[in-house]
Structure 1
Amino acid sequence: MKLHVLPQVVPDPDTFRSAPPPAPAVWHMPPAPLARLLSLGDLDSMIGWGVLRSRWISVVRAGRSVPESEYTWPRRQINDGMESVVRAAAITTLLQQGSTVILQSLQRTWRPVATMCRGLSREVGVPVEANAYLTPAHHQGFAHHHDPHSVLIVQTVGTKTWQIHEPVFPDPLEHQNWRPDALGSGDWDRLRHGKPTLETVLHPGDVLWIPRGWIHNAYATTEPSLHITFAFQTLTPYWLAKEVVKELDEVVELRRELPWGAVRDPDRLRETCAEVMEQLGRAMAGLDPDRLADRLVEAMRPRFLEPDRAPVTSALADDLTPGSRVAMVAEALHRRRCLPDGGARLEMADASLTLGPPAARALAEVLESGGDSWCALDLGPELDEAEALEIVTQLIRAGLARRV
């Protein structure tokens, strides 16, 4: 696989992809491309128009979440549900007070970041999401905490100091959130007064890798800070084991009721636990790992971003000719499945495109062409001119190709 996006954020993308660093790391990348992902002017555009929904934003003040009512209009009926719209003036006031503003799910609301998330997802093989954090000078959002997923921090504006400490709870799962009350006094002393494993000041273009579980604490320096956090979804043997258990819902003995009263009698419950564990062992021995893998591939598809289908009005355009140059959009393709008849199914996160054998043969080479341009005429002699033009049109509308 040719990598296009990872080289923008890490110096050794092949190594990063095959073996993500187990400890935090900082890389100084060319600042201009990363700074263009999100600027203060971009934030003004998103917030200042007065149409941003409350679900796309949150605010943190002194380490605590600010109630939504402080920065939104009262909830009102919008389409089929009750929603709130962000008040831009309230956000300005909160920033003046030192609050951190968080733009959530940027993979859904800001195209440059969405494009980066699509590319990262394709190249690392797991869904990637993004939030942005705007912090006024000399302030911080969240204090010491860990995340249950690994993140890449990309600084786009200003500077921010980061202190990274070794995990107290290694490899937390998604439901194992940061719990300050569970830390002993020794842990707190280490976090507050001990020397961090890594301390660094990020400038525009700097990238910080924080593996899940590592404790971090960050604060803006003498100028406002804006950074993007790219979060990599965590897939673990624990997750896979839960999916395996879901395959057992057809096993009759596992659907039977437990004995009444067992949960009130420790001795009886121990016996019941042992019986169920034996039943699980027998049931799992009969599972088909190929069937499970196929199901999980299909179940994971919607977790990846669907292709960017702009312009959506391409269905109305009639100026595409056999000589029009196009290029494949590699990050839009989730999987290419070969069919028994020699055709192929191109699967995206939210749709699929089935090709007959001639079209599959004609497209075999261009599907691997990366960003190289080609045209419908290049699909001969497998397809005649009209057939080739129709295939190119379908690829553009599916988001699998773009005009160049």
Structure 2
Amino acid sequence: MSLRTLFDDKTVADMMTSWPTQPAIHDLPAGSCLPGIVNAPLLNAYLESGTAPVDNIILIKGGAALHPRAYTTAGDLDPGKITKWRGRGYTVQLRNLNRWQPALHTVCAAIQQQTGYGCYATGFITPAGAQGLGCHWDQNMGFIYQIAGRKSWQIWEPVVDQPHRDHLACNTAPCSSLLNRLKTTLPDEEFDLQPGQVLVLPRGYAHNVHARAQQHDSVHLTFVVRERTGFWIGEKLTAAATASTEFRRAIPPAHLADRGAFAEHVDQARKNLIDWLAQADEQALAAHLIDAARTERDVDYL
């Protein structure tokens, strides 16, 4: 189980050397184990039985989420309330499925082992004629597997360069204003994702996704792939460098009120950082970071 769960051999080989930068639609490869691992009856059963972990269930419509009290009783998922809200057009989002569905955990772990990119999976069940999330762009790569029904996609070319982590998120200024202006324009691409298809959606592509014109519920699974970047390397190097004793010494309070005195501390910290980086063994660091990329446990949902 790895990227080959989602893509054919040639696509996987291409991805490993030239990571996708544009949206593309693929067919799930013949013989993929994914339909046997996660399917519409299974996801619906989690909701109808009330066995899904309540902290990972979100009900959302038109971009607005319900308070958990609206679909729980005594702190537990209430199947009757879930059914009621679904009948009123609310999408159910099943977050972090890889944390509570063992087979999906295996798939996500295999993708991380193969690529070095952290991975988690989130499911969406949208009633026919409805829309859950509003228009937005994401900070990570998404592989969207359409399980059942169809989902309508409107996609816009990126209006910001390399959104990543907390940088250039669409729900923060000034990007929120850019997104609002974007929504007044026609999408660059529009299509219905069919069952058995997988959409590759790089970060930064704004998208509006709905089932407003569909006659049946739409069910899809998104694999969120957290790419490694120079930002990640910089974080790791800085964390290693600042673990030394010199970076743990207290700065006198008076120096924090004196720009000249404080500038000396800034200069010394900069010199310490440069000295550490200059003496670091890049081969040893590379080996350590490759191991971390393949094994570290990422924050689940962003």
Bin of the TM-score, shorter chain as denominator length: 0.7 to 0.9
| Alignment partner, residue 240 of structure 2 | 247
C-alpha contact 1:136 1:224 (8 A) present in aligned 2: yes
Amino acid at match of 2:159: V
1:259–1:15 CA distance, 2 compared to 1 (3 A): same
Alpha-carbon displacement from aligned partner over 1:325-359 (angstroms, at most 9, x marks no partner)? xxxxxxxxxxxxxxxxxxxxxxxxxxxxxxxxxxx
| Alignment partner, residue 178 of structure 1 | 170
Give runs of aligned pairs for residues 230-309 of structure 1, distance below 5 A. 230-266=223-259, 269-270=262-263, 272-297=265-290, 299-300=292-293, 301-303=295-297
Aligned-pair CA distance for 1:138: 2.0
Aligned-pair CA distance for 1:267: 5.4
TM-score between both structures, scaled by the size of structure 2: 0.84
Picking from 180, 194, 197, the partner of 1:206 is 197
| Alignment partner, residue 6 of structure 1 | 4
Question: Is 1:188–2:180 an aligned residue pair?
Answer: yes
1:264–1:173 CA distance, 2 compared to 1 (3 A): farther
| Alignment partner, residue 68 of structure 1 | 68
Give runs of aligned pairs for residues 347-366 of structure 1, distance below 5 A. none
| Alignment partner, residue 18 of structure 1 | 17
Aligned-pair CA distance for 1:26: 1.5
Amino acid at match of 1:120: I
Q: Distance in 2 between matches of 1:206 and 1:38?
A: 14
| Alignment partner, residue 140 of structure 1 | 131
Q: Aligned residue pairs: how many?
A: 292
TM-score between both structures, scaled by the size of structure 1: 0.64
C-alpha contact 1:247 1:292 (8 A) present in aligned 2: no
Q: Which moved more, 1:225-234 or 1:30-39?
A: 30-39
SS of the residue aligned with 1:280? helix
Alpha-carbon displacement from aligned partner over 1:274-311 (angstroms, at most 9, x marks no partner)? 4422331122212233443454455452428xxxxxxx
C-alpha contact 1:152 1:209 (8 A) present in aligned 2: yes
Aligned-pair CA distance for 1:265: 4.7
1:297–1:30 CA distance, 2 compared to 1 (3 A): closer
Q: Distance in 2 between matches of 1:154 and 1:114?
A: 16
Alpha-carbon displacement from aligned partner over 1:104-155 (angstroms, at most 9, x marks no partner)? 1111323443343243333323232100001111221111212221010010
1:8–1:52 CA distance, 2 compared to 1 (3 A): closer
1:198–1:123 CA distance, 2 compared to 1 (3 A): farther
Amino acid at match of 1:6: R
Question: Is 1:46–2:43 an aligned residue pair?
Answer: no
SS of the residue aligned with 2:232? helix
C-alpha contact 2:126 2:218 (8 A) present in aligned 1: yes
1:27–1:250 CA distance, 2 compared to 1 (3 A): closer
Give 1 or 2 for the bigger CA radius of gyration.
Answer: 1
Q: Which moved more, 1:167-176 or 1:133-142?
A: 167-176
Alpha-carbon displacement from aligned partner over 1:196-248 (angstroms, at most 9, x marks no partner)? 23222101011111112222210013121100000112322122112112222
1:180–1:239 CA distance, 2 compared to 1 (3 A): closer
Q: Distance in 1 between matches of 2:269 and 2:2?
A: 49
Q: Distance in 2 between matches of 1:226 and 1:31?
A: 20
C-alpha contact 1:29 1:205 (8 A) present in aligned 2: yes
Q: Which moved more, 1:276-285 or 1:62-71?
A: 276-285
Picking from 136, 153, 166, the partner of 1:162 is 153
> Percent of pairs identical after alignment?
26
Q: Distance in 1 between matches of 2:238 and 2:37?
A: 41
Aligned-pair CA distance for 1:252: 3.6
SS of the residue aligned with 1:239? helix
Amino acid at match of 2:195: P
Q: Which moved more, 1:30-39 or 1:204-213?
A: 30-39
Amino acid at match of 2:276: A
5+ residue gaps, structure 2, are: none
Q: Distance in 1 between matches of 2:60 and 2:91?
A: 5
Picking from 220, 230, 244, the partner of 1:227 is 220
Q: Distance in 2 between matches of 1:31 and 1:158?
A: 20
Q: Higher relative contact order by CA 8 Å / sep ≥ 6: 1 or 2? A: 2
Please give the root-mean-square deviation of Cα atoms over the aligned residues, in Å.
2.8
Q: Distance in 2 between matches of 1:125 and 1:145?
A: 26
Q: Distance in 1 between matches of 2:197 and 2:158?
A: 23
5+ residue gaps, structure 1, are: 75-83, 305-404
Aligned-pair CA distance for 1:90: 1.1
C-alpha contact 2:6 2:198 (8 A) present in aligned 1: no
| Alignment partner, residue 109 of structure 1 | 100
